[in-house]
Amino acid sequence: MSSSNSRTIVVDRDIQQDRKRQAEALRQRMTLQGTLVVNLVSSPGAGKTSLLEATARHWKDQYRMAVLVGDIATDRDAERLAPLVPVQQLTTGGACHLEIELVERGLAALPDEAFDFLFIENIGNLVCPASHDVAEHCRVVLISTTEGDDKPAKYPKMFRTSNAMVITKTDLLPHLPFSTQAVIEDARNIHDDITSLSVCALDQSGIDRWCEWLEEQRSTMLQRAGTI
Tell me how far, at minimum, the Cβ of 130 lies from other proteins, in Å: 5
Please tell me whether residue 218 binds other proteins under the rule CB under 8 A. no
- Binds other proteins (CB under 8 A): choice among 36, 143, 156, 168: 156
Least Å from the CB of residue 119 to other proteins:
21
- Using CB under 8 A, which of 28, 62, 74, 189 touches other proteins? 189
For other proteins, the closer CB: 10 or 228? 10
> Would you count residue 62 as binding other proteins (CB under 8 A)?
no
By CB under 8 A, how many residues form the interface with other proteins?
A: 38
Identify whether the C-beta of residue 145 lies closer than 8 Å to the C-beta of residue 169. yes
Measured in degrees and rounded to the nearest 5, phi and psi for residue 33 equal: -95, 5
CA–CA gap between residue 86 and residue 75 (Å, rounded) = 14
Query: Does position 20 bind other proteins by CB under 8 A?
Result: no
153 near other proteins, rule: CB under 8 A? yes
Q: Which range binds other proteins by CB under 8 A, 37-45, 68-76, 150-158, 172-180?
A: 150-158
Instruction: Encode burial over 56-81: b for 16+ CB neighbours within 10 A, e otherwise.
Output: beebeeebbbbbbbbbeeeeebbeeb
Main-chain phi, psi angles of 105, to 5 degrees: -65, -45
Q: How far is Cα 13 from Cα 150, in angstroms, rounded to an integer?
A: 35
15 in contact with other proteins (CB under 8 A) = yes
Dihedral of CA 44/184/211/215: which sign? negative
Asked if residue 157 binds other proteins (CB under 8 A), the reply is yes
153: which DSSP letter? H
**Using the rule CB under 8 A, is 18 a contact of other proteins?**
yes
The residue from 45, 75, 188, 225 that contacts other proteins (CB under 8 A) is 188
